[in-house]
Amino acid sequence: MSIQDRLAYLLQQAVRQTATVAELQELSDLVQADQSGDTARLVEKLLRKDLPPETAEYDEAYWDQVASNILAADRPEEDNVIPLPQRRRGWMAAAVITGALLLSGGAYWLLQKPAPAPLAAVTPQPAHDVAPGGNKAVLILADGTQVPLDSTANGLLAQQGNTKVSKPGAGQLTYTQQTAGSTALMQYNTLRTPRGGQFQVTLPDGTKVWLNAASTLKYPTAFTGANRQVELNGEAYFEVAANAARPFRVNVLTHTGGSPDSMQVAVLGTHFNIMAYEDEQQVRTTLLEGAVRVNSHGSSKQLRPGQGASLDKQQRTLTLQDNINTEEAVAWKNGFIQLEGNDITSAMRLIARWYDVEVVYKAPVAAHFRGIIPRNVPVSQVLKMMELTGEVHFEIKGKQLIVSP
């Protein structure tokens, strides 16, 4: 079987959601092993060959369906492979195809509007570029000591009361409570990520938290009271350890017009994402599994999986939202930048936080964007895809991104 025939088969399996984990891995290996760009261009050619003639280079409905099929969660399990979690398998397939399109210069998944463009050869990375973010954070201990986690060796970091704090690996922090029961003094630690940073922490009760860029999480070194409470500013994804006797609460801290504001998310055991950046107009809670209750300004909303709660910081109104795109909400945790009709300012806020850059606008830009891009590529690749709308142009000057029509 020729390489083209094999690629055609593997792509067909991925798009139809019938690929095994082994087949997805083989497809990924074929694309990533190619240094010339020929395989990537062949992938794009195969993906485009079934387009109706009248669509020419691009058809939004067709590519939306391709993306939906690849990102769909349901796929039959097979006995001869070790199954991955459904969502992870969807993201793996999306990463393979999106990576191929990035390498070949295609923009089919990113653009909201049709944008015919010829196939482009792989171009060298610009001399002036900005690398993506990574595992960077500072741990602030109870006595105020600051530990730079990205440059600290793995192993035991500190003893906080009866809790050991350790770094088991890159981008990970773990709290292990040695004995149960109350302590004489409640101690708090703070995990802070900079712009361009992310980190994961396992709290003393087993709850796992993924902290996005420019975020802060404050938590006790041992959960000893009737409730388990933490404080968040920024964005985090939570997988809360179930404990009906001790509800878990996230106090979301933000500011409205310079004055402090708050929202509380109460759970027993569940998976959810909270986005509460200071430069965003809304605080959003998205529920993936379980149930949560969101409280703010005397209003309360009970969420079911697939629902979200949005707090307008100016109006101070809490709104329940159905049929939330949960994959978009947690794309950052899974290693992607996902744009769903974002205008230029919201898209650039997201990019600025992850690449730690300053965005400067020369003039208003009306472009909107839609699609998925891996978070581990240099910023030039992201900007190149966005420029293919024909409505925006970018210039990189050190750590500045200059935006113009």
Task: Write down which residue in 83, 104, 125 finishes a domain.
Answer: 104
pLDDT for position 241: 95
Specify whether 184 is located in the same domain as 309: yes
Those residues whose C-beta lies under 8 Å from the C-beta of residue 291, and which sit 6 or more positions away, are 267, 268, 270, 302, 303, 304
Specify whether 325 is located in the same domain as 356: no
Q: What is the C-alpha separation between 371 and 337, in angstroms, rounded?
A: 8
Phi/psi of residue 190, nearest 5 degrees: -130, 130
Number of helices and strands in the chain (H, E): 8, 24
- Give the chain's residues under pLDDT 50: 50-60, 62-64, 66-92, 99-125
Specify whether 56 is located in the same domain as 36: yes
Asked whether residue 118 is assigned to any structural domain, the reply reads: no
Q: What is the C-alpha separation between 244 and 392, in angstroms, rounded?
A: 51
Indicate the pTM of the whole model.
0.73
Specify whether 393 is located in the same domain as 287: no
Q: What is the C-alpha separation between 203 and 164, in angstroms, rounded?
A: 11
Those residues whose C-beta lies under 8 Å from the C-beta of residue 293, and which sit 6 or more positions away, are 265, 266, 267, 300, 301, 302, 303
Q: What is the C-alpha separation between 113 and 68, in angstroms, rounded?
A: 17
What's the CATH number where 268 sits? 2.60.120.1440
Q: Is residue 149 within 8 Å of residue 167, measured between CB atoms?
A: yes
Specify whether 188 is located in the same domain as 237: yes
Specify whether 387 is located in the same domain as 355: yes
Give the structural domain span for 18: 3-104
Is beta strand 188-192 parallel, antiparallel or unpaired with respect to 172-177? unpaired
pLDDT for position 128: 78
Specify whether 24 is located in the same domain as 79: yes
Segment 228-256, tens digit of pLDDT: 999 999 999 999 999 988 999 999 987 65
pLDDT for position 46: 67
Asked whether residue 79 is assigned to any structural domain, the reply reads: yes
pLDDT for position 5: 75
Q: How many domains are contained in the chain?
A: 3
Can you state the angle between helices 3-15 and 21-33, rounded to 10 degrees? 130
HSE toward the beta carbon, residue 320, CA cutoff 13 A: 14
pLDDT for position 10: 79
What's the CATH number where 371 sits? 3.55.50.30
- Give the DSSP per-residue string, 61-94: HHHHHHHHHHH-S-----TTSPPPPHHHHHHHHH
Segment 373-391, tens digit of pLDDT: 788 889 998 898 788 777 8
Going by the DSSP 8-state scheme, the letter that residue 57 receives in this structure is T
Task: Write down which residue in 287, 306, 329 finishes a domain.
Answer: 329
Asked whether residue 119 is assigned to any structural domain, the reply reads: no
Asked whether residue 125 is assigned to any structural domain, the reply reads: no
Specify whether 235 is located in the same domain as 260: yes
Those residues whose C-beta lies under 8 Å from the C-beta of residue 220, and which sit 6 or more positions away, are 186, 187, 188, 189, 204, 229, 230
Task: Write down which residue in 303, 329, 355 finishes a domain.
Answer: 329
Specify whether 182 is located in the same domain as 308: yes
Specify whether 253 is located in the same domain as 394: no
Phi/psi of residue 169, nearest 5 degrees: -170, 180
- Which residues in 147-169 are b (16+ Cβ under 10 Å) and which e? bebeeeeeeebbebbbbbbbbee
Asked whether residue 234 is assigned to any structural domain, the reply reads: yes
Is beta strand 216-220 parallel, antiparallel or unpaired with respect to 188-192? antiparallel
Closest CA to 356 of 395, 392, 401, 387: 401
Asked whether residue 110 is assigned to any structural domain, the reply reads: no
Specify whether 173 is located in the same domain as 247: yes
Asked whether residue 123 is assigned to any structural domain, the reply reads: no
Asked whether residue 309 is assigned to any structural domain, the reply reads: yes
First to last CA, the chain: 48
Specify whether 71 is located in the same domain as 194: no
- Structure tokens that stand for 79 in this block: 């006995």
